[in-house]
A and B are shown apart, each in its own frame.
Chain A
Amino acid sequence: MISRWLTAAVLSAGLTSGPVLATPLRLPPTTRATLKNGLVVVVMPTHRLPLVDFRLVVRAGSVNDPVGKEGLAGLTAELLTQGAGARSARQIAEEIAFVGGTLSANAGTEQIVVTCEVLKKDFAVGLELLRDVTVHPTFPAEEFARKKDETLGEIASNKDDPATVANNALGPFLLGQSPLAHPTIGWEKSVDSLTREDVAEFHARHVHPENAMLAVVGDVEPSAVVAAMEKAFSGWSAGGTKPGDAYTPVPQARGRSLLIVDKPEVTQTQIRLACMGVPRNHPDYYPITVANTILGAGFTSRLVNEIRVVQGLTYSISSRFGMFRNAGTFRISTFTKNETIRKTIDETLTVVKALLEAGPSEEELEKAKRYLTGQFPLGLQAPDALAAQLLDIEFYGLDAKYVETYADRINAVTMTDCRRALKSYFCVDDLRILVVSNPEVAKKALEGLGPIEVQEPQ
């Protein structure tokens, strides 16, 4: 089964809301409580399906990996479900599957996320497992050894996927030594150095109730949920201090530089153009979102129109802001056959430059606002999607009325705001340009764009 376009491009547009709704978006009321131990709990009842979604976020991720221990947050998260409380890895897997549920734990750049989805009747099973894997993981030595070995295997496997090679190489190329630079999975060498003690210590240091937040969305009654959480998490005591953000913003390097990641066998070259962006809770979030939609999110954006629809150079091109708590990146991602690498880069830069210089038309501005406001409610139907949205508000410190006011704020973006955003936060001259390709072919194609380095996939 193959689809018309990559949905990732749409997801990267960010979730947003609109003037076209027949009726305004009305979500069920949220109940927010802070448990005695400091854990923030947000509950939203939705009764369409007999499902309950739990989502627990810890404010720690790969940015908290010590230097030389890249991959530690990721491995710690992976191991949460591999032994907890009185249960072995196998028992945890068996119990959640037996009720038809899912339970998973993963680390991102700034978060460890534990999710659990069960049928309503299995609320208690889901809650106990979620609580135990978060609070009482046992990190058995044999599971540590197995997961570490699997992680090394996956790092090898990732070298076979050109898009992953591109994304993993872009971090250090753009962000240098910043803790934001490395992929969550880590590097072969750093993962190889991890010990079980590293994992246990990472958990002990970061996974505390006052450093975490929990959303429960689904077919539930909020006051009963809060009481159940107070009971379930009563043994989880506050500890240590709330860690601050483990990094500072990365300054923008001037000029252009290029990196070729050596993958001689490909017939299609992955391309990334990137610079520094903005943190998530930025005062110009809405103008930036609208401007980026016009440039490279959505099917009628300038980049998709010119590079895919008109010129047939690619199947997918998108621009997106990766926004963290304390910094951010901007990147354009695409791919094309090896014969048209330079043409694709040149045409892409022409599109960006034209938009930055002349700004969008009134029609484009209006279309982008309608698109964003229309997409917003579509992304808020499923209980797990709602849980993620509720915790984003908590995590990034957004307006408590974020969902309700989204459409109005998008609609308030003026042409002046949009042009300011384009001039201030988008880039065309100070750029890192990365390609994953045959180096001989790519060197010729990139000639004259700036200094070129070549490296092997990491």
Chain B
Amino acid sequence: MPHALRTGCALALALITAAAPGLAAKKKSATAASRPGAEGSAPALSPAAFKVERHTMKNGLVVLTHEDHSVPTCTFWQWFKLGSRNERPGVTGISHYFEHMMFNGSKNVPPKEYDKILESSGGYSNAFTDRDMTAYYEDIASDRLDVVFRLDSDRMASLSLLPDQLKSEIEVVKEERRLRTDNDIAGMLDEQLYANAFLASPYRWPVVGWMGDLNRITREECVEYFRTYYAPNNCILVLTGDFDTPAALAKVESSFGAIPAQTPPAPPVDSEPEQRGERKAEVHYPAENVSFQVGYKAPSVASEDIYVLDVLSSILSDGESSRLHQALVYQQQIALDASTFYRTRLDPTLFEFYVEMKPGKTAAEGQAALDAVIDTLSRQGPSARELQKAKNLLEAAFVKSLKTNNGVGEQLGFYEHVFGDYNAMFRTVDRYRAVTAEDCRRVAQKVFVPLRRTVSVLVPDKEAGAEARP
């Protein structure tokens, strides 16, 4: 299978669109009454219909709640406002290392007990780390919610960071790095893309961290990192599913309320200078097919252009009728896969393209074809139908992201953290609807500038990469 740019999770986030206050406004077909499933649209996800409460506790902890009693389960998300952007050279990867250590013992929950207690309660947990955030969740039966409040408040209050667990867990993290980066072609290209595109932004180092840093991070650095970043005033809790809000809030207060706030950490500095020329990185490694990534400097959440970029991303690569698939895969038949990746981030980031060529096809052919597609779109903009299709896809993707309690909590936490207000979620579909063909042209011409791009190319090389070779 062609490589995905990142994990399945990342793609879900990439598709974040927004609440669909106007979903019900779609006009009914004249024959709707005779069609099953077409008898009037469901209430849309307006703030009125999709009720969310937001509370801030005295220690600065933000709590979002959304009740839904369809299934007798809950999801409890904790979004910590820290990611690899909060790191510095020498301790890269420490945020992700923490994501592992948060399950490895706290004052009243010895190592291994967290998972034992959770699984004995029928619960499931996982977590992820990205450049802007570290997020944890548990899915659990409604009547076991107290269990996760107890476990998660204990680790927020007093994580142990025991030497034995630190030592063994860093080996697990290194295996994760070997899996996702050192032995994975898309992983290698992605690491090189960001490292070469950014000179000063903290986005330049990989989320998993450089292997050298993983070998040297100390316990003292971990203790300091925990005190600074794992404070209640640096965290957003999101509770979704089958619970009673006042009762749950009281429990959250009694579990998390006594954890002291800390001095807020200084925001990371982004001194990235303007890019004035194309950069290129080659990775020589044994491979059957050529593949490459292209990253154009793209704006942060502070720009209104993010919505236009989501629309452009959809036009370029969502589905077989998208421009890149039609040109590179369907018509020219030179590529196996051609995709885009753009996620709203706190700092200026990249709008990424990923192309895997067919056997025997070169990166030069692929880049020329890609450039032609981008150039045509930038000059002419999308057709009216194409623009409408992208808007429909983005709206539907939003609805689909809310299929589970977990999905609802993920969206709320993402918007509250990255946009600073979960209500941004309810505005996004309107923003998409307002995008015009002229906006697409304007933003494409502003972002897709060859002098502001970085390319990482996999050069198939049978002799390369075999450091383990005898």
Query: When the two chains form the complex, which single residue of A4, A118, A315 contacts B103, counting CB atoms closer than 8 Å?
Result: A4
| Stretch from A43-51, A197-205, A248-256, A350-358 forming part of the interface with B | A43-51
A156-186, CB < 8 A from B: 156-162, 164
Q: Are A22 and B141 in contact (CB under 8 A)?
A: yes
What residues of chain B lie closer than 8 Å to A37, measured between beta carbons? none
Q: Is A393 an interface residue (CB 8 A)?
A: no
Q: How far is the CB of B469 from chain A (nearest CB, A)?
A: 5
Q: Are B399 and A2 in contact (CB under 8 A)?
A: no
| Stretch from B58-66, B386-394, B437-445 forming part of the interface with A | B386-394
Query: When the two chains form the complex, which single residue of B176, B336, B469 contacts A438, counting CB atoms closer than 8 Å?
Result: B469
Q: Chain B, 69-99, contact with A by CB distance < 8 Å: what is the 0/1 string?
A: 0111100000000000000000000001001
Assuming the contacts A51-B399, A374-B124, asked whether A220 and B37 have C-beta atoms less than 8 A apart, the reply is yes
Q: Chain A, 185-224, contact with B by CB distance < 8 Å: what is the 0/1 string?
A: 0000000000000000000000000000000001111001
Q: Are A21 and B141 in contact (CB under 8 A)?
A: yes
Q: Are A366 and B120 in contact (CB under 8 A)?
A: yes
- Return the chain A residue nearest B28 by Cβ: A121
**Docked pose: A124 CA to B169 CA in angstroms:** 52
Scoring B120, B122, B175 by chain A CB atoms within 10 A of each residue's CB, the highest score goes to B122
Q: Are A300 and B112 in contact (CB under 8 A)?
A: yes
Q: Are B38 and A123 in contact (CB under 8 A)?
A: yes
Assuming the contacts A94-B321, A156-B288, A300-B119, asked whether A100 and B397 have C-beta atoms less than 8 A apart, the reply is yes
Q: Is B184 an interface residue (CB 8 A)?
A: yes
- Return the chain A residue nearest B23 by Cβ: A50
| Stretch from A60-68, A130-138, A375-383 forming part of the interface with B | A375-383
Q: Is B216 an interface residue (CB 8 A)?
A: no
**Docked pose: A213 CA to B179 CA in angstroms:** 39
What residues of chain A lie closer than 8 Å to B129, measured between beta carbons? 1-3
Q: Are A160 and B208 in contact (CB under 8 A)?
A: no
Q: How far is the CB of A296 from chain B (nearest CB, A)?
A: 13
Q: Chain B, 169-196, contact with A by CB distance < 8 Å: what is the 0/1 string?
A: 1111111101110111100000000000
What residues of chain A lie closer than 8 Å to B333, measured between beta carbons? 146, 149
Q: Is A20 an interface residue (CB 8 A)?
A: yes
Scoring B130, B141, B329, B395 by chain A CB atoms within 10 A of each residue's CB, the highest score goes to B141
Q: Are B71 and A312 in contact (CB under 8 A)?
A: no
Q: Are B321 and A20 in contact (CB under 8 A)?
A: no
Q: Is B7 an interface residue (CB 8 A)?
A: yes
What residues of chain A lie closer than 8 Å to B320, measured between beta carbons? 81, 89-90, 93, 97
Q: Is B277 an interface residue (CB 8 A)?
A: no
Q: Is B467 an interface residue (CB 8 A)?
A: yes
Q: Are A377 and B72 in contact (CB under 8 A)?
A: yes
Q: Are A375 and B359 in contact (CB under 8 A)?
A: no
Q: How far is the CB of A28 from chain B (nearest CB, A)?
A: 10
Assuming the contacts A94-B321, A268-B183, A314-B175, asked whether A3 and B9 have C-beta atoms less than 8 A apart, the reply is yes
**Docked pose: A214 CA to B344 CA in angstroms:** 39
Q: Is A412 an interface residue (CB 8 A)?
A: no
- Return the chain A residue nearest B358 by Cβ: A153
Q: Is B263 an interface residue (CB 8 A)?
A: no
| Stretch from B252-260, B300-308, B400-408, B415-423 forming part of the interface with A | B400-408
Q: Is B47 an interface residue (CB 8 A)?
A: no
Q: How far is the CB of A153 from chain B (nearest CB, A)?
A: 4
What residues of chain B lie closer than 8 Å to A267, measured between beta carbons? 178, 182-183, 467-468
**Docked pose: A299 CA to B116 CA in angstroms:** 8
**Docked pose: A299 CA to B126 CA in angstroms:** 10
Q: Is B52 an interface residue (CB 8 A)?
A: no
Q: Are A374 and B122 in contact (CB under 8 A)?
A: yes
Query: When the two chains form the complex, which single residue of A96, A371, A380 contacts B119, counting CB atoms closer than 8 Å?
Result: A371
Q: How far is the CB of B317 from chain A (nearest CB, A)?
A: 11
Q: How far is the CB of B144 from chain A (nearest CB, A)?
A: 6
- Return the chain A residue nearest B207 by Cβ: A2
What residues of chain B lie closer than 8 Å to A265, measured between beta carbons? 285-286, 464-466, 468-469
B269-315, CB < 8 A from A: 285-289
Q: Are B288 and A157 in contact (CB under 8 A)?
A: yes
Q: Are B142 and A22 in contact (CB under 8 A)?
A: yes
What residues of chain A lie closer than 8 Å to B96, measured between beta carbons? 2
Query: When the two chains form the complex, which single residue of A1, A156, A375, A378 contacts B7, counting CB atoms closer than 8 Å?
Result: A1
**Docked pose: A154 CA to B356 CA in angstroms:** 10
A1-54, CB < 8 A from B: 1-5, 7, 10, 18, 20-25, 46-52
- Return the chain A residue nearest B285 by Cβ: A265
- Return the chain A residue nearest B69 by Cβ: A23
Q: Are B143 and A335 in contact (CB under 8 A)?
A: no
What residues of chain B lie closer than 8 Å to A310, measured between beta carbons? 168
Q: Is B42 an interface residue (CB 8 A)?
A: yes
Q: Are A157 and B2 in contact (CB under 8 A)?
A: yes
Q: How far is the CB of B211 from chain A (nearest CB, A)?
A: 10
Q: Is B140 an interface residue (CB 8 A)?
A: yes
Q: Are B71 and A380 in contact (CB under 8 A)?
A: yes
B325-372, CB < 8 A from A: 326, 329-330, 333, 336, 356, 358-359
Q: How far is the CB of A46 from chain B (nearest CB, A)?
A: 8
Q: Is B426 an interface residue (CB 8 A)?
A: no
What residues of chain B lie closer than 8 Å to A225, measured between beta carbons? 36-37
Q: Is A362 an interface residue (CB 8 A)?
A: no
Assuming the contacts A2-B96, A100-B392, asked whether A10 and B124 have C-beta atoms less than 8 A apart, the reply is yes
What residues of chain A lie closer than 8 Å to B36, measured between beta carbons? 123, 220-221, 224-225, 227-228
**Docked pose: A159 CA to B26 CA in angstroms:** 47
What residues of chain A lie closer than 8 Å to B1, measured between beta carbons? 154, 157-158, 161, 164
Query: When the two chains form the complex, which single residue of A24, A371, A381, A441 contacts B70, counting CB atoms closer than 8 Å?
Result: A381
Scoring B7, B120, B329 by chain A CB atoms within 10 A of each residue's CB, the highest score goes to B120
Scoring B71, B144, B285 by chain A CB atoms within 10 A of each residue's CB, the highest score goes to B71
Q: Is A152 an interface residue (CB 8 A)?
A: yes
**Docked pose: A146 CA to B385 CA in angstroms:** 27
**Docked pose: A248 CA to B96 CA in angstroms:** 47
Query: When the two chains form the complex, which single residue of B7, B42, B142, B385 contacts A98, counting CB atoms closer than 8 Å?
Result: B385
Assuming the contacts A49-B399, A119-B399, A156-B288, asked whether A440 and B103 have C-beta atoms less than 8 A apart, the reply is no
Assuming the contacts A89-B320, A367-B120, asked whether A154 and B336 have C-beta atoms less than 8 A apart, the reply is yes
- Return the chain B residue nearest A185 by Cβ: B1
What residues of chain B lie closer than 8 Å to A335, measured between beta carbons? 175, 178-179
**Docked pose: A381 CA to B167 CA in angstroms:** 39
Q: Is B152 an interface residue (CB 8 A)?
A: no
Q: Are A97 and B318 in contact (CB under 8 A)?
A: yes
Query: When the two chains form the complex, which single residue of B37, B144, B180, B394 contacts A221, counting CB atoms closer than 8 Å?
Result: B37
Q: Is A342 an interface residue (CB 8 A)?
A: no
**Docked pose: A377 CA to B126 CA in angstroms:** 17
Q: Is A242 an interface residue (CB 8 A)?
A: no
What residues of chain A lie closer than 8 Å to B172, measured between beta carbons? 308-309, 312, 314-315
Scoring A24, A149, A160, A298 by chain B CB atoms within 10 A of each residue's CB, the highest score goes to A160
What residues of chain A lie closer than 8 Å to B126, measured between beta carbons? 3-5, 7
What residues of chain B lie closer than 8 Å to A96, measured between beta carbons? 319
B420-470, CB < 8 A from A: 464-470
Q: Are A228 and B35 in contact (CB under 8 A)?
A: yes
Q: Are B37 and A218 in contact (CB under 8 A)?
A: yes
Q: How far is the CB of A290 from chain B (nearest CB, A)?
A: 13
Q: Is B41 an interface residue (CB 8 A)?
A: yes
3 closest Cβ pairs, A-B complex:
A374-B122, A100-B396, A312-B171
Could you list 13 further interchain pairs (A-B, Cβ under 8 angstroms) beyond the known A2-B96, A100-B393, A374-B121?
A: A2-B128, A21-B72, A93-B321, A98-B388, A100-B394, A120-B41, A160-B287, A161-B1, A219-B37, A300-B115, A335-B179, A370-B121, A375-B124
15 contacts between A and B (CB under 8 A): A46-B70, A52-B37, A100-B396, A101-B396, A121-B41, A124-B35, A159-B288, A160-B289, A265-B286, A299-B115, A299-B119, A312-B175, A335-B179, A371-B120, A374-B119
